[in-house]
Amino acid sequence: MRLAIASDHAAFALKSTLLPWLRALGHDVTDLGTHGPDSVDYPDFGHALGVAVASGAAARGIALCGSGIGISIAANRIAGCRCARVDDPLSATLARQHNDANAIALGARLIGEEMARACIAAFLDTDFEGGRHAARVAKLDAQPPLGVGV
């Protein structure tokens, strides 16, 4: 699967351990940065991830920051990106099944590498259920971009 991954400095170490694992599983992974531990601004990397997923450059995205909150907010500002902040495999599974999430966000300061891998595996291995959920996801996608019609 074509994936994009992005992190801020707080999650750089976690991203560095996840990249080789994802590639060993056979995924084509684009690393959108950051590429070192120096302080950076998570909105820049969340934006890049949202654009990659919404444009189709990546089928799914993985966003990482200290808490997972800020980078998920940044990614979700891009129309067409549905980024769910998750903490465990069940929330990752439900994000796919019910919300057709095309990106997940994880908090490097909140979960360890093993849990991050479990969340990502659940996210990548789960399909959208459609059915009653499809109309709800369509409503999400139909919402006007920020600032339009407000």
Angstrom distance (rounded) from CA 8 to CA 12: 6
Active site (annotated) includes residue 119: no
pTM attached to this predicted model: 0.92
Model pLDDT, residue 150? 45
Model pLDDT, residue 16? 98
**DSSP string of 82-140, one letter each residue:** -EEE-SSHHHHHHHHHHH--SEEEEETTTS-HHHHHHHHHHHHH-----THHHHHHHHH
Which helix or strand (DSSP H or E) is residue 4 part of?
Answer: strand 2-7
Angstrom distance (rounded) from CA 6 to CA 34: 7
The catalytic residue among 47, 65, 81, 83 is 65
Residue 89 has pLDDT above 80, yes or no: yes
Question: How many residues in total does the chain contain?
Answer: 150
For residue 110, how many C-alpha atoms fall within 13 Å in the half-sphere facing its CB? 14
Active site (annotated) includes residue 35: no
Query: Beta strands of 28-87 (E only): which ranges?
Result: 28-31, 60-65, 83-85
For residue 108, how many C-alpha atoms fall within 13 Å in the half-sphere facing its CB? 21
Residue 130: band (very low, low, confident or very high) from pLDDT cuts 50, 70, 90:
confident
- At 14-38, the pLDDT tens digits run 999 999 999 999 999 999 999 999 9
The catalytic residue among 35, 81, 83, 98 is 98
